[in-house]
C-alpha cells in the first residue's frame, strides 16, 4: 500500500509540474507575441504621424508635441519598420528598435534607427514616448525642419555657345498677405491686381483667400525694364498688400525669341507631379513646353535638401542633408543672329508665317522662327500646308529621273485640261513665256501647265520617291515635336497633275521645304538637326515604310541647283539678284486653298545662298514672289551684311 501511494503522489506532482511549465512557457510566448504586435502597431502609428496607443503617460500631450515636431516635414513620405524587439521578462521591460526612411530625395533618402523603451503592465505593453523616438538625439523641445535646396537650372545654349535661355532679372508681382490689413482686404486687392495685370480675377482671388497668413501669392512675372512692368509698378502703391519682388528666371533674350521651340518654365502642374513618381514636388520649377519640357530632366538637375533639428531659440543643427545636383546645359544649333533676323523679318506679318534656315553642310537648323500671326503655334516646325510651286523642285527631280533634261521642251499653255479639270498658271503669268519651252524655262517661270504636260512620264509613286530622296518624307529627330511632309502615291491623272504643282494631298512644313532646299544644296539627303548636345537619337524607318527611295546623286543635285539659279537670273525671282555675298538660288511658290472664289493662297519661297538653305512661308499672301519673296530678300541681305 505504501509503495502504491508513493507512486501516486509522484505521478500527481509530475503532472502538476508539467502543467505549470506549460502554462509558464505559454504565457511567455503570448507576451512576446503581444510585444511584437504592439511594436508593429507603434511603427504604423509613427509612420502616419500618430503616437502609439497606449503609452506610458499623457498620450494627448505627446500627440500635440509630435504634431509640432513633424510640422516642418510637410507631406514627405515617412516609412517606419520594426527592426528588433528586445524583452527582459524578469523586469517586465524591453525596447523596440525602429528603422525610419524619409523619401525626401529620390536618390538619397534619410534613413536611421531609433529606440522606444517598453514596459509591461499586467499583460499589456506600453511605450515610453519622447522625441528621441522620432529622430536620434532629438530633444523634446526641438522640432524637425526640411529645407529644399534647389538646383541651378541648366541653360539652353546656341550654336556659338551664346546663352539663348539663361537666368535673367524679373519681378514677381503679387499680393503679400502680411502687408494686407485683413483677409478681406487681401482678397479685394487680389481682384484689383488681377484687373491691372490682365489675369482671371476670380481664380486669383481664390488663391489669395486660400493662402496662409504669411504667404506671398504670385500673380504674374515681368521682365526687368519691360513696359508692362513699368505700368504695373506705377499702380502697385494704390493696392494694399501688392508687392513686386526682384528675382531671376530662365528666359530667352526676348519674349518672342524662338518661343514655341525653346518653350517655357513654370511651376509644376498637378499632372506633372503625379506622373513624376515623387521626383517632382508641388511648387517645383519645371519645363512646361518645347525644349524646356523635352529636356527637363537634363536641365532641371536634382534638388537637394537639409534636415535640421530646430530649437525654440538659437541656431538649428543639421541632422542630414543631400547636396543638389545642378542641371546641365543643352546646346542647340540655333544661331542667335540668324534667329533674331528671322524674328525681325516676320514681326509685322499678320497671317501665320515662318522662316526656317538650315546649314546644308551639317543639317544644323540655324533659325526656326514662327511669326506672331501663329499665336504661339510652332508654324515653322509643325505647320502642314500645300507647298505649291516650291514642290516643283521635287517634280523636277522626278522628271529628270524619268529621262528629261533641262533642255527638254514642254508645252507651256495658258490652261491644261486633265479628266475634265482645268489647270492654269498663276495670275499674271507672262504671256511671252508660253509655248514649247525648255524645262529650265518651265521651272524658272513656274509654268504649271508645262509640268503637267509631262505627267505621262511619271508613275504613281514617282513624286513620293523623289520627295523621299530630298528628305521631305523622312521622320525628323529634332528633340522637339516636328513634322516634315507627306507625299502619298498618286491615284489618277488629276491627282498626279495637282500633286506635280504642290497641291492635292501633298503637304509640307516650312522645316520640310527647307530640308528639300538643303538636300539640293548639299548634294545628298540632309537630316535636320536642332539639339546637338545631348545628341538626339535618329529614328528608324521613314514616312514611307516598305520602300527606300533612290538616293539623290551629286549630278541630280547639280542639275537642280542650275534650275534654281535660273529662277533668279531669268525667272520669277530676279529681285534676288542684288543680294550681297554670292549667287542666290531660289524657287517661288503659290498654293491655292479653301473654297473662296477666287481661292486664297499660301505664299512660299525657297532660297539657297552659299552654305544656307531657307524656306519662307506666309499662310495668306498674293503670291510667293510678292509676299514671301521680300521676306527672303530681307533675311538673306541681313545675314550677308556685317554688323546688321
Give residue 540's pLDDT: 59
Determine contact, residues 305/318, Cβ cutoff 8 Å: no
DSSP 131-185: GGGTSTT--TT-EEEEEEEPPPPPPEE-TTS-EEEEEEEEEEEEEEGGGSSSHHH
* Rounded Cα gap, residues 518 and 633, in angstroms: 18
Residue 76 pLDDT greater than 60, yes or no? yes
Give residue 11's pLDDT: 40
Give residue 368's pLDDT: 98
The x, y and z cell numbers of residue 341, run together, are 533676323
Q: What 3 state SS string does 218-282 have?
A: EEEEEECCCHHHHHHHHHHCCCCCEEEEEEEEEECCCCCCCHHHHCCEEECCHHHHHHCCCCCCC
pLDDT tens-place string over residues 553-611: 999 999 999 999 999 999 999 999 999 999 999 999 999 998 888 889 999 999 999 99
Residue 627 DSSP label:
I
Residue 228 pLDDT greater than 80, yes or no? yes
Q: What is the mean pLDDT of residues 285-299?
A: 92
Span of 37-41, 125-129, 344-348, 543-547 with lowest mean pLDDT: 543-547
Cα-based torsion angle of the residue sequence 29, 30, 36, 40 in order, rounded to the nearest 10 degrees: 150
Query: Angle, to 10 degrees, between the axis of helix 183-197 and the axis of helix 227-236?
Result: 150
Q: What is the mean pLDDT of residues 334-362?
A: 96
Task: Determine the Cα angle at 556 with ends 552 and 559, to 5°.
Answer: 150
Give residue 28's pLDDT: 67
Q: What is the mean pLDDT of residues 630-638?
A: 97
Average pLDDT, the chain: 90
Query: Which residues are 100's β-sheet partners?
Result: 80, 112
Query: Which residues are 417's β-sheet partners?
Result: 422
Query: What are the chain's domains?
Result: 30-136 (3.10.450), 156-332 (3.90.1310), 336-573+607-640 (3.40.710.10)
Choose between 281 and 547: higher pLDDT: 281
* Rounded Cα gap, residues 187 and 207, in angstroms: 9
Q: Which of 300, 295, 329, 292 is nearest to 152 (CA)?
A: 300
Give residue 644's pLDDT: 56
Q: What is the mean pLDDT of residues 438-449?
A: 97
Give residue 6's pLDDT: 35
* Rounded Cα gap, residues 496 and 459, in angstroms: 9
pLDDT tens-place string over residues 243-280: 999 998 888 888 889 999 999 888 788 888 888 876 77
pLDDT tens-place string over residues 525-552: 999 999 999 988 876 544 444 457 799 9
Q: Which of 596, 628, 634, 619 is nearest to 375 (CA)?
A: 619
* Rounded Cα gap, residues 503 and 389, in angstroms: 9
Span of 11-20, 182-191, 317-326, 614-623 with lowest mean pLDDT: 11-20
Give residue 24's pLDDT: 42
* Rounded Cα gap, residues 527 and 216, in angstroms: 48
Amino acid at each position: 500500500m505504501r509503495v502504491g501511494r508513493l507512486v501516486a503522489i509522484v505521478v500527481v506532482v509530475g503532472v502538476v509540474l508539467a502543467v505549470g511549465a506549460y502554462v509558464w512557457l505559454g504565457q511567455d510566448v503570448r507576451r512576446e507575441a503581444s510585444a511584437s504586435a504592439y511594436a508593429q502597431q507603434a511603427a504604423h502609428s509613427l509612420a502616419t504621424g500618430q503616437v502609439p496607443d497606449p503609452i506610458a503617460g499623457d498620450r494627448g500631450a505627446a500627440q500635440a508635441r509630435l504634431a509640432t515636431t513633424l510640422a516642418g516635414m510637410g507631406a514627405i513620405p515617412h516609412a517606419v519598420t520594426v527592426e528588433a524587439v528586445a524583452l527582459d521578462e524578469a523586469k517586465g521591460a524591453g525596447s523596440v528598435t525602429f528603422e525610419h526612411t524619409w523619401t525626401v530625395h529620390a536618390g538619397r533618402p534619410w534613413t536611421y534607427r531609433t529606440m522606444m523603451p517598453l514596459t509591461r503592465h499586467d499583460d499589456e505593453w506600453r511605450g515610453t514616448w519622447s522625441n528621441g523616438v522620432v529622430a536620434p538625439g532629438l530633444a523634446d523641445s526641438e522640432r524637425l525642419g526640411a529645407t529644399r535646396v534647389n538646383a541651378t537650372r541648366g541653360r539652353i545654349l546656341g550654336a556659338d555657345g551664346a546663352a539663348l535661355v539663361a537666368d535673367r532679372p524679373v519681378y514677381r508681382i503679387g499680393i503679400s498677405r502680411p502687408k494686407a490689413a485683413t483677409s478681406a482686404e487681401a482678397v479685394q486687392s487680389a481682384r484689383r491686381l488681377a484687373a491691372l495685370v490682365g489675369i482671371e480675377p476670380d481664380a486669383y482671388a481664390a488663391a489669395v483667400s486660400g493662402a496662409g497668413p504669411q504667404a506671398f501669392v504670385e500673380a504674374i512675372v515681368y521682365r526687368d525694364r519691360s513696359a508692362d512692368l513699368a505700368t504695373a509698378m506705377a499702380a502697385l502703391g494704390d493696392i494694399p498688400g501688392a508687392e513686386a519682388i526682384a528675382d531671376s528666371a530662365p528666359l530667352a533674350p526676348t519674349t518672342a525669341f524662338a518661343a514655341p521651340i525653346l518653350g517655357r518654365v513654370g511651376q509644376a502642374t498637378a499632372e506633372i507631379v503625379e506622373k513624376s513618381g515623387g521626383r517632382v514636388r508641388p511648387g517645383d520649377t519645371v519645363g512646361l513646353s518645347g525644349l524646356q519640357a523635352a529636356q527637363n530632366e537634363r536641365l532641371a538637375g536634382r534638388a537637394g535638401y537639409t534636415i535640421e533639428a530646430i530649437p525654440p531659440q538659437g541656431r538649428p543643427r543639421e541632422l542630414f542633408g543631400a547636396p543638389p545636383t545642378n542641371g546641365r546645359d543643352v546646346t542647340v544649333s540655333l544661331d542667335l543672329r540668324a534667329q533674331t533676323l528671322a524674328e525681325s523679318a516676320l514681326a509685322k506679318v499678320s497671317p501665320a508665317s515662318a522662316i526656317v534656315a538650315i546649314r546644308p553642310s551639317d543639317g544644323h537648323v540655324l533659325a526656326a522662327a514662327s511669326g506672331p500671326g501663329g499665336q504661339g503655334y510652332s508654324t515653322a516646325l509643325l505647320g502642314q500646308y500645300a507647298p505649291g510651286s516650291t514642290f516643283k523642285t521635287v517634280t523636277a527631280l522626278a522628271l529628270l529621273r524619268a529621262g528629261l533634261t533641262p533642255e527638254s521642251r514642254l508645252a507651256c499653255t495658258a490652261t491644261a485640261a486633265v479628266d475634265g479639270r482645268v489647270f492654269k498658271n498663276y495670275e499674271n503669268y507672262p504671256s511671252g513665256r508660253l509655248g514649247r519651252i525648255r524645262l529650265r524655262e518651265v521651272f524658272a517661270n513656274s509654268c504649271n501647265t508645262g509640268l503637267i504636260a509631262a505627267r505621262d512620264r511619271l508613275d504613281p509613286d514617282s513624286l513620293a520617291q523623289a520627295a523621299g530622296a530630298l528628305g521631305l518624307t523622312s521622320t525628323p529627330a529634332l528633340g522637339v515635336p516636328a513634322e516634315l511632309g507627306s507625299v502619298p502615291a498618286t491615284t489618277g491623272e488629276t491627282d498626279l497633275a495637282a500633286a506635280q504643282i504642290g497641291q492635292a494631298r501633298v503637304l509640307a512644313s516650312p522645316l520640310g521645304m527647307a530640308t528639300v532646299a538643303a538636300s539640293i544644296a548639299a548634294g545628298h539627303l540632309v537630316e535636320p538637326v536642332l539639339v546637338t548636345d545631348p545628341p538626339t537619337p535618329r529614328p528608324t524607318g521613314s514616312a514611307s515604310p516598305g520602300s527606300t527611295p533612290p538616293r539623290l546623286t551629286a549630278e541630280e543635285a547639280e542639275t537642280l541647283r542650275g534650275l534654281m539659279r535660273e529662277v533668279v537670273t531669268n525667272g520669277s525671282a530676279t529681285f534676288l539678284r542684288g543680294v550681297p555675298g554670292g549667287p542666290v538660288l531660289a524657287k517661288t511658290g503659290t498654293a491655292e486653298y479653301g473654297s473662296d472664289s477666287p481661292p486664297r493662297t499660301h505664299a512660299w519661297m525657297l532660297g539657297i545662298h552659299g552654305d544656307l538653305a531657307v524656306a519662307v512661308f506666309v499662310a495668306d499672301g498674293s503670291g510667293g514672289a510678292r509676299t514671301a519673296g521680300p521676306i527672303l530678300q530681307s533675311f538673306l541681305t541681313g545675314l550677308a551684311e556685317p554688323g546688321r
